[in-house]
Structure 1
């Protein structure tokens, strides 16, 4: 089978391409720009495009299927050629469903925490040698590809609510029809696609209604939206979860469960909620609580999810993907709670469409209140590139609404300031779905170690 990827360079797309190549399919792809780490990984796999750009010669009757990425547009010349030839065109979630429709599908959804929960489940399954296929949104230690297809009984999927493809405007997680599902919480995101909170919530209702007959829906019980959604589900059993009981001893989080204590690498109330959700998912496939906690103790987190990028006995620098209000709040609080005796400098970049929209900025109120100093950066050039109305530093400061916030529009100036601020017993938290206009965060972290 020959599969051609239009926009192969995306995070999920290039992992899917690698997985299909390893399964023995003929894989080709195209894109107009591919960045690291996708570039190196595709080259290593032997499926990096021979030249950049769109080329209709890639589309011919020998291609059995097209997988279309969100980066492509409706008028993409390769897509138009494929449509004219009548070739089968899939979005990547549609293709994943086709590959997994005979498996028990475990799907993790929610506005926040889904990568961490999926990663925790996968870590335990690997540790306990439970064979599973998977699709995860972040690279984990011990894995060189975050998609796998085989003859496993289970398929573990991180269920993203963003759109499937330029031709298919359904959220990706509407494709997966889970047998076992989890929803971690609902906090408005993707304002460019879901212009109202009500419209956004509706997508999660549809996902919950898609849980298969006699399936299970596990949900965070303190989220009022999820309480309402779970209350309306008839075809599946609903199971609520909360934050695990824990204490912090010498900057180390210890989970207490059924009379036993389990020291953990990960920390923060949000992570302890995620862990409890992962536990309940694994209970459904026969994993005992004892086996779960013994296995999860060695979990160190997913890439860019409260990832330690530099550390000594006086300072830790963390990198996190957090960009939405709920994620910023949970992550900032977690670091301050874990290290209460240290000063916390929290720094975030407004980079997504939603975060750079003036109407959305009030959603960030108090999001970084737990930090001793909070720095927020945005690039006016990125605002312009996304064709959004201009915002000012004052708009951003008022949106966050706390006195500890300072706003920067020049990342060089920001990082010069951060370097001056780094003193003994200070932790630094860097949060972004971007890269602060080209700053190498790992290099910077090493530079400021005292």
Structure 2
């Protein structure tokens, strides 16, 4: 099969391109710019475009399929040529469905937790040498690619993202997978540039539940009131199986999970991660892994990349970075670190970096999100607000939103860095939460403070 990728450099797109190349397909692609790690990964497979840019002459009638990435625009010259030639154009999720429609599709959805749950499931499968196809949004230890597609595997595990499919397909990605087995971890308003109201956002999850194939099943986090309402209101003829956070204790900075065999030390912590683990256990059992084998495997799970990742530790202090940016994730992550290190002073630093977090109206959703921290810092770049063509956000709006009198706010990257590097990290826990890098902070430099 001959497949061309328009916007091949994206995190998801380049992984799919490599997966198809590994499967024996002829793969070509274009992009206006490609950064590492995508660039070096594509180069290693001989898939890096010879020059950056869009070239309509790359689009010929002998192409079997076009895969269109979100980074491309609707007036992209390659897309226009493909439409003119009447070629089959797929969004990323549509193509994944085409590759998996004869398999048992396991789809993990939710505003938060989906990457971690998917990662846990794949870790357990890998530990027990059970080969499955997959697509996950983070680099996992022991896995060289983030997408794997074969002809032979019975199961495919898909991280179900609610963001849009492509510039010409405005449906959320997870509406296109038609799961046999599904999970819903949590619902908390996000992506407000696409879903302008809370009701509109929640509706996408109702559609997801209704997209599960007849006779399929959904495991859902019954501790999330919105999840419980959405799943239980669905009239889809499926099995509905609730789960909740298991019993656990924390002793000397170590989390012990209660199991039928007694307390078991695990490498992840925080109530939200334990809740994720409970969901992952259910899914693994649907996939044929019994409870004892699940516990054996999950005890060796260290976490997904950028999800509560420990970056430094000394005798008395510890530092974590996390991808958290939405209010519910920030709150859960901050509370998790404080609960794990009760005796340490917690300094939590949040960068407001996304469309939603830099929106003046949405900011009020952050109320109380940093309350668990002993000292809290918010960083945002006015330049990022400008680039995203959003209304200017003021210090006062941020202070009012978080409702925390002692909140420290920085807008200058150097000022934030000077603050951080002037701290004495003794008997402290540092938590850096961002989907960016605080205007140029080198995380390797931070590790030298410990």
Both structures adopt the same fold (TM-score exceeding 0.5): yes
Matches within 5 A, 1:167-178: 167-178=168-179
Greater shift in the superposed pair: 160-169 or 338-347: 338-347
1:9 aligns with 2:15: no
Is residue 126 from structure 1 mapped to residue 145 from structure 2 by the alignment? no
Question: Is it true that 1:243 corresponds to 2:236 in the alignment?
Answer: no
Alignment match, 2:153: 152
Equivalent residue in structure 2 for 1:312, among 308, 311, 314: 314
Q: Secondary structure at the match of 2:422?
A: helix
Residue equivalent to 1:84: 84
Aligned to 2:140: 140
The CA RMSD over aligned residues, in Å, is 1.0
TM-score relative to the length of structure 2? 0.98
Distance 2:184 2:105 in 1: 14
Give the alignment partner of residue 269 of structure 1, picking from 268, 271, 283: 271
Task: Spell out, residue by residue over 1:426-448, the C-alpha distance to the aligned partner (whole angstroms, 9 max, x if none).
Answer: 1111111112222221x122221
CA deviation map 1:334-364 (0-9, x unaligned): 0110011111111111111011000000000
Q: Is the counterpart of residue 162 in structure 1 residue 168 in structure 2?
A: no
Please report the TM-score for the alignment, with normalisation by the length of structure 1. 0.98
In structure 1, distance between residues paired with 2:57 and 2:407: 53
Query: CA offsets per residue over residues 26-75 of structure 1, 9 Å max, x none?
Result: 11111112122111111112111111111112111222211000010001
CA contact (8 A) 1:262 1:294 kept: no
Q: Which deviates more from structure 2 when the two are superposed, residues 417-426 or residues 272-281?
A: 417-426
Tell me, yes or no, if the aligned pair for 1:111 and 1:188 is still in contact at 8 Å. Answer: yes
Structure-2 residue corresponding to 1:293: 295
**Pick from 336, 342, 347: which aligns with 2:344?**
342
CA distance in structure 2 between the aligned counterparts of 1:416 and 1:144, rounded to whole angstroms = 37
User: 1:363 touches 1:399 (CA, 8 Å); kept in 2?
Assistant: yes
Cα deviations across residues 158-193 of structure 1 (Å, max 9, x unaligned)? Answer: 000000000000000000000110000100000000
Q: How do residues 427-446 of structure 1 correspond to structure 2 at under 5 angstroms?
A: 427-441=429-443, 443-446=444-447
Whether the 8 Å contact between 1:371 and 1:404 is mirrored in structure 2 is no
The runs of 5 or more residues in structure 2 that have no matched partner are none
Q: What does residue 70 of structure 1 align with?
A: 70
1:106 paired with 2:106, answer yes
Name structure 1 gaps, 5 residues minimum.
none
1:172-251 mapped onto 2 (5 Å cutoff): 172-233=173-234, 234-251=236-253
The C-alpha deviation readout for 1:70-116, integer Å capped at 9, x for no partner, is: 01000111111111111111000000000000000000000000000
Offset, 1:259: 4.5
CA contact (8 A) 1:369 1:404 kept: no
For structure 1, which segment, 255-264 or 82-91, has the greater mean C-alpha deviation from structure 2 after superposition?
255-264
248-257 vs 91-100, which deviates more? 248-257
Give the CA deviation at 1:366: 0.6
**Inter-partner Cα distance in structure 1 for 2:22 and 2:339:** 44
Structure-1 separation of matches of 2:446 and 2:291: 37
